[in-house]
């Protein structure tokens, strides 16, 4: 049972219940297609990795098929979720290798016959078939005008019921019409996951669902979850809310767009830290702040981005302070295999100050997982991503950080950093990937 195995690996990372499980839609919720700088997404990423990754679960729930989901990941600075729910809750996969949940497929096969759906829908000229990639084993998708949507939905459900099928028809974004088995959908997929966690005695302590359009409505009807409709939510979702969930205090309509609304909801419901490291200005003594090793890794890489974008002052104090946070004998293994002292790499940073100024250049870390290997040492594994223009590169990193407690604060020292290219990555010019 490969899928049970992968479920195990994903879930066993957490010995107890997840502190927070975020279940978020992607297009126009986690990802703002109107912000070419992806600022709210990057703010969310930094917050998640510095404060939540180690004891919480990130679930993406999208209408996209695996093909279009993978495409989006290449275009936008996204994190790797623990669980990916695709094709409007009809496909659930675990981990980075995206191992499918076979049990869920069994559930969806009940009273579903794809061929009948295709046959009956072909009789409606108002329905325009979506691309081949979006037609999935338990999802048949069309485009239909707003004006025709309600009428077509009604007529179609009658036809399909007469043919003995039990289907769900969902209208989203004022243009997409999806036909799924009745037991499918984003809400049902979440209910299935929550049930799985409960059976293991690990229900998440808190769950926050996030969405913007019609296919997200179901997420908000799952009992016991907090919900945020982002400020830019579609009419059909707001209407569903007004009719079905108006006075439920666990659901809010954020005043901020997309991932900004998710951060806002974390604060509103008091689900944990809600200040993204990206919202904190750089200061030379910012290490005098008590936080964990994951936070240290996020901050270090954020500084690196800001330095190359010339968003921090060009002053020696920064370099001196960075050096002070590295062990003098500490080494750095570059993904090309070249090894040097961490201090040398930091000195080399002087030459690249502002070399990415005015460019579309971003650095973010993903899957930051610290483990304590002795009383004063952390081993931190993470993935470091760089985006330059349209291109993304990533490296698998392992860092060894020691710490001491000074005046009640944890001060970290980098003892070692080892990087290897991720599959498919590799700089054309190794010199450009400095640290
Ligand atoms: C995504 C899918 C599409 C679906 C829509 C609404 O855009 O690619 O097939 O119709 O979400 O669920
Ligand atoms: Mg959406």
Find the CATH number of the domain harbouring 384. Answer: 3.10.450.50
Q: Do 67 and 127 share a structural domain?
A: no
Tell me the backbone φ, ψ of residue 90, rounded to 5 degrees.
Answer: -105, -10
Mean pLDDT in the chain?
94
CA 31 to ligand 1 center in whole angstroms: 15
pLDDT digits (tens, 9 = 90+) for 185-225: 999 999 999 999 999 999 999 999 999 999 999 999 999 99
Whether 134 lines ligand 1, by a CB cut-off of 6 Å, is yes
Q: Which atom of ligand 1 is nearest to the CA of 65?
A: 8
Among the candidates 235, 269, 303, a domain finishes at 269
Among 30, 33, 64, 211, which residue has the most ligand 1 atoms within 8 Å of its CB, making it the best to mutate? 64
CA 372, CA 402: separation in Å to the nearest integer? 10
Residue 1 has pLDDT above 50, yes or no: no
Strands 251-253 and 226-229 come out as parallel
Among 61, 63, 142, 168, which residue has the most ligand 1 atoms within 8 Å of its CB, making it the best to mutate? 63
Choose the weakest-confidence range: 82-96, 145-159, 271-285: 271-285
Among the candidates 158, 181, 204, a domain finishes at 181
Cα separation of the two ends of the chain: 40
Nearest to 179 by CA among 212, 130, 227: 130
Q: Which range of residues forms the domain containing residue 326? A: 293-421
Looking at the domain assignment, is residue 287 inside a domain?
no
Angle subtended by helix axes 39-47 and 258-268, to nearest 10: 40
pLDDT for 289: 60
Nearest to 204 by CA among 363, 52, 93: 52
Report residue 369's pLDDT band, with 50, 70 and 90 as the boundaries. Answer: very high
pTM: 0.95
Nearest to 208 by CA among 198, 197, 194, 188: 194
Q: Do 201 and 98 share a structural domain?
A: yes
pLDDT for 429: 64
Give residue 46's Cα distance to chain centre: 11
Q: Do 190 and 251 share a structural domain?
A: yes
Q: Do 116 and 29 share a structural domain?
A: no
pLDDT digits (tens, 9 = 90+) for 51-83: 999 999 999 999 999 999 999 999 999 999 999
Residue 38 has pLDDT above 70, yes or no: yes
pLDDT for 432: 78
- For residue 20, the domain's CATH number is 3.40.50.1000
Residue 301 has pLDDT above 50, yes or no: yes
Q: Do 188 and 177 share a structural domain?
A: no
Residues with CB under 5 A from ligand 2 (ion): 25, 27-28, 212-213
Residue nearest ligand 1's atom 8 by CA: 64
Q: Do 415 and 319 share a structural domain?
A: yes
Q: Do 75 and 5 share a structural domain?
A: yes
pLDDT for 3: 52
> What total number of domains does the chain contain?
3
CB 179 within 8 A of CB 32: no
Q: Do 37 and 96 share a structural domain?
A: yes
Report residue 290's pLDDT band, with 50, 70 and 90 as the boundaries. Answer: low
Looking at the domain assignment, is residue 278 inside a domain?
no
Whether 262 lines ligand 1, by a CB cut-off of 6 Å, is no
Q: Which atom of ligand 1 is nearest to the CA of 215?
A: 12
Looking at the domain assignment, is residue 283 inside a domain?
no
Report residue 407's pLDDT band, with 50, 70 and 90 as the boundaries. Answer: confident
Looking at the domain assignment, is residue 428 inside a domain?
no
Decide which of 173 and 413 is more confident: 413
Looking at the domain assignment, is residue 352 inside a domain?
yes
Q: Do 402 and 362 share a structural domain?
A: yes
Among the candidates 253, 269, 285, a domain finishes at 269
Looking at the domain assignment, is residue 433 inside a domain?
no
Report residue 408's pLDDT band, with 50, 70 and 90 as the boundaries. Answer: confident
Looking at the domain assignment, is residue 330 inside a domain?
yes
Q: Do 243 and 195 share a structural domain?
A: yes
- For residue 145, the domain's CATH number is 3.90.1070.10
pLDDT digits (tens, 9 = 90+) for 124-179: 999 999 999 999 999 999 999 999 999 999 999 999 999 999 999 999 989 999 99
Residue 411 has pLDDT above 70, yes or no: yes
Looking at the domain assignment, is residue 427 inside a domain?
no
- Extended beta strands in 249-354, E state: 251-253, 326-333, 339-341
Q: Do 409 and 318 share a structural domain?
A: yes
Q: Do 156 and 203 share a structural domain?
A: no
């Amino acid at each position: 049972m490969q899928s049970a195995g992968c479920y195990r690996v994903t879930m066993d990372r957490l010995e107890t219940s997840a502190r927070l499980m975020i279940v978020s839609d992607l297009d126009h919720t986690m990802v703002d297609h109107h912000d070419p700088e992806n600022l709210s997404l990057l703010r969310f990423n930094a917050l998640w990795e510095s404060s939540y990754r180690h004891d919480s679960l990130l679930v993406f729930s999208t209408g996209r098929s695996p093909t279009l989901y993978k495409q989006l990941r290449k275009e936008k600075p996204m994190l790797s979720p623990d669980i990916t729910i695709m094709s409007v809750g009809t496909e659930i996969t675990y981990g980075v290798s995206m191992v499918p949940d076979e049990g869920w497929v069994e559930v969806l096969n009940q009273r579903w016959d794809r061929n009948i759906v295709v046959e009956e829908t072909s009789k409606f000229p108002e329905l325009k078939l979506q691309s081949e990639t979006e037609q999935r084993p338990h999802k048949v998708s069309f485009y239909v005008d707003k004006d025709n949507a309600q009428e077509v939905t009604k007529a179609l459900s009658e036809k399909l019921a007469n043919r003995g099928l039990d289907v769900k028809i969902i209208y989203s974004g004022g243009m997409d019409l999806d036909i799924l088995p009745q037991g499918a959908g984003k809400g049902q997929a979440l209910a299935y996951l929550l049930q799985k966690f409960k059976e293991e005695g690990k229900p998440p302590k808190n769950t926050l669902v996030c969405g913007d359009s019609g296919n997200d409505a179901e997420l908000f009807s799952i009992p016991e979850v907090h919900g945020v409709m982002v400020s830019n939510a579609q009419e059909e979702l707001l209407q569903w809310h007004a009719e079905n969930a108006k006075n439920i205090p666990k659901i809010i309509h954020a005043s901020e767009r997309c991932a900004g609304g998710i951060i806002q909801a974390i604060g509103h419901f008091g689900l944990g830290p809600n200040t993204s490291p990206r919202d904190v200005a750089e200061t030379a003594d910012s290490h005098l702040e008590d936080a964990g090793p994951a936070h240290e890794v996020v901050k270090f890489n954020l500084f690196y981005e800001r330095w190359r974008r010339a968003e921090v002052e060009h002053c020696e104090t920064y370099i001196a302070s960075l050096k002070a946070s590295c062990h003098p004998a500490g080494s750095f293994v570059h993904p090309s295999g070249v090894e040097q002292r961490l201090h040398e790499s930091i000195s080399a940073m002087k030459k690249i100050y502002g070399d990415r100024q005015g460019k579309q250049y971003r650095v973010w870390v993903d899957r930051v997982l610290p483990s304590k290997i002795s009383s004063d040492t952390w081993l931190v594994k993470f993935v470091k991503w760089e985006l330059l223009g349209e291109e993304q590169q990533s490296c698998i990193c392992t860092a060894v950080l020691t710490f001491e407690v000074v005046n009640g604060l944890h001060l970290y020292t980098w003892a070692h950093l080892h990087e290897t290219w991720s599959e498919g990555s590799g700089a054309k010019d190794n010199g450009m990937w400095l640290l």
